[in-house]
Structure 1
């Protein structure tokens, strides 16, 4: 990824949906995140290594919502006319300089407020992908401040300790994956 290559834009057209995932319109990324947010499609990806670790990223300080918070491997939004899975692969390349097969796991709706700056209000598809241990990560610094591989038990302790800032969707998703899909994650 080129140094500081911008891949996310305030005016990118996101897909507005109802609770049943029917498209109801499109609007700019900046507008759908204002106030309490407008329900829109999103995706989250958890990358798990063959050695049993999960890749976490710390969001860039440039992010308007949840800057420098630790989160799952990659997350973003499909744009107008783009399917979720295609968008997920695009974003893996843009943020982490990698790609891998992704398995759809589940979809859920949530709303999370980040002070007066705005909110996420998403119908979010969750994917899990697998990588070999020694894959080079080439982060885009406009999107990712830092990254690290953690064992499943380390992620459990990180969430339980509540000592580092974590994105709310990451905590919700990890908790559900642990409960309902433990075979897809590193052992506890």
Structure 2
């Protein structure tokens, strides 16, 4: 491939990303509602818990760290954690109860009514994330789903559904982290 062909490919990718974000701007309400739900949970003594698989697991850890550490300002830590980080719990639960239970079982152990679960999946149908959302509903834990454009079990289960306007995994993930950053900024500004 020539340098010009590579450049054209890069430009096409960037234009596609720009179009996706332009379309996503029309969903500002869902992003704002998600932030509000987290603010309400944290303001009343609850915590934010994140879960997802693969890249969404990494996003879960990233966003929990933004709240626990700092996003844009120095402030007290906000109670947030990713259910994706404890390899002993993940492997023990997966071994004893099946991979589908790895998040729901942790949620059952540490979740409380008034907490909020932020469930992230590009497909919106990851069995273990859907199971966690069902468990959250049983327990009085609010739910936020972050998925792609297609209707999914997760978007139907969520108190607030953030459905980004993309169907390819990489494009969905790009918008998930942007939405997550916006949410963290709104939460931090409201509580600090």
Greater per-residue helix proportion: 2
Greater per-residue strand proportion: 1
> Which structure has the larger Rg over C-alpha atoms?
2
Which is bigger in relative contact order (C-alpha 8 A, separation at least 6)?
A: 1
- TM-score tier, shorter chain, comes to under 0.3
TM-score under structure 2 normalisation? 0.25
